[in-house]
Amino acid sequence: MANPLARVRATRHRLKETHPLSVLIAERLGLSLLLLWAVSILIFAGVEALPGDFAETYLGQSATPQAIANIRADLGLDRPITTRYFEWLGGVVQGDFGNSWASGAPVTEQITKRLGNSLFLAFFAAAISVPLAVGLGMVAVHYRNRIPDRVINVLSLAAISLPEFFIGYILIVFFAVQMGVATFPSTVYDNMSWSERLAAIALPTATLVMVVLAHMMRMTRAAIISVMSSAYMETAELKGLGAFKAIVKHAAPNAIAPIVNVVALNLAYLVVGVVVVEVVFVYPGMGQYMVDAVTVRDMPVVQACGLIFAAVYILLNMVADIVAIVANPRLRHPR
């Protein structure tokens, strides 16, 4: 009797011959789930390793050994770490992140609202930065090594070189304090109108756009230049095709994969990297929620935020991987 592992391997090999695309995508999905599980362990262990705990922080000056022990027992912290981990994991897979220690309210409810706010901000930043970056990348290629290309390069590099909190404060100083045209702080409420909301997020959106623009722009430029210098573009030119036709038909299909990859990475950064920007602009998103929770050692909230950030990051990278796989004719059409 062949051992089961060998049988799985043989099946995988056979499937890879007949359906390489489906197998690769399934593999990516499986790996992503595995990665997410590993991250959940890391987050739990990391939070556990933080110095100080909720009981001490919560009680502050009035902490007596007895009071601390009481709170720990209330929260179930006296039980072994593995029990608590699996209990937490069991809840998470059912969509229950537990209750906040500080407020007692369910974490899931709180996070849904906060995540919505963060995604709102990230969406507008992406809607502006992705077309802008791809467009600027194309302009840079068109004026390659000439003044417009250099200007675009230098400005976008300058923007990425400054830390986002610095850009944020500079924008606040100029647009909110000196010129008074922008809203600060960027706090949003439930009963705000759309226009008020948009006005509130103008500055944080601008900050995020400046931070992610350079990376995407430069990658677009590099991808297009690399494709344009390939032999098949020369073939297209020697076939007498016009420049526009050659780019649309011969360059674009081959430039998509690398561009999508860097766009996905930056979208992930938009969601995950907002922590600092949200704090600077006092924006009630996931980032600020997490920072507040860390200060008071509100572990269920920290764990939930960490896990959701990780999930977003992994998801977007997986999408980028899959797009790259699908865009590759060698995988779409096996020999």
Partner 1 sequence: MSDLLSVRDLRIGATIFPPGEAPMDIEIVHGVSFDLQKGKVLGLIGESGAGKSTIGLAALAYGRGGVRITGGEVLLDGQDILPLDKKGIRKIRGARVCYVAQSAAASFNPAHKLGDQVIEATVEHGLMSRDEARKRADYLFEILGLPDPKNFGNRFPHQVSGGQLQRAMTAMALCSKPELIVFDEPTTALDVTTQIDVLAAIKNAIEMTGTAALYITHDLAVVAQISDDIMVLRNGETVEYGPVQQIIENPRQEYTKALVNVRQTKQTEARDQSDALLKVENISAAYGNGVQVLHDVSLHVPRGQTLAVVGESGSGKSTLARVITGLLPPFQGSVTFGDEELSNAQKDRSRDHLRRIQLIYQMADTAMNPRQTVGQIIGRPLQFYFGKRGAERKKEVIKLLDEIEMGEAFYDRYPAELSGGQKQRVAIARALAAQPELILCDEPTSALDPLVAEGILDLLLRLQKERQVSYLFITHDIAIVRAIADSVAVMLQGKLVDFGPRSEVLNPPFDDYTDLLLKSVPEMELGWLEKVLATRKMESAGH
At closest approach, how far in Å is the CB of 18 from partner 1?
15
- CB of 6 vs partner 1, minimal distance in Å: 14
Q: Which of 210, 183, 195, 163 is nearest to 283 (CA)?
A: 183
How far, in Å, are 89, 218, 243, 265 from residue 131 at the CA level?
39, 13, 22, 15
Which C-beta is closer to partner 1: that of 79 or that of 239?
239
| Contacts with partner 1, residue ranges (CB under 8 A) | 230-232, 234-242, 245, 249-250, 253-254, 329-330, 333, 335
Helix (H) or strand (E) holding 176: none
| Nearest CB to partner 1, comparing residues 30 and 242 | 242
Q: Which residue, 21 or 315, has its beta carbon nearer to partner 1?
A: 21
Provide the greatest CA pair distance for the chain.
86
Shortest distance in whole angstroms from residue 23 CB to partner 1: 17
Q: Which residue number, 14 or 249, has a Cβ lying nearer to partner 1?
A: 249
Angle (CA) 312 316 318, round 5°: 115
Which of 279, 54, 272 is closest to 165 using CA atoms?
Answer: 279
Nearer to partner 1, 135 or 253 (CB): 253
Q: How far is the CB of 329 from partner 1 (least distance, A)?
A: 5
HSE (CB half, 13 Å, CA atoms) of 264?
19
Q: Do 164 and 273 contact (CB within 8 A), yes or no?
A: yes
In angstroms, what is the minimal distance from the CB of 186 to partner 1? Answer: 44
Read off the tokens for 32: 């992503």
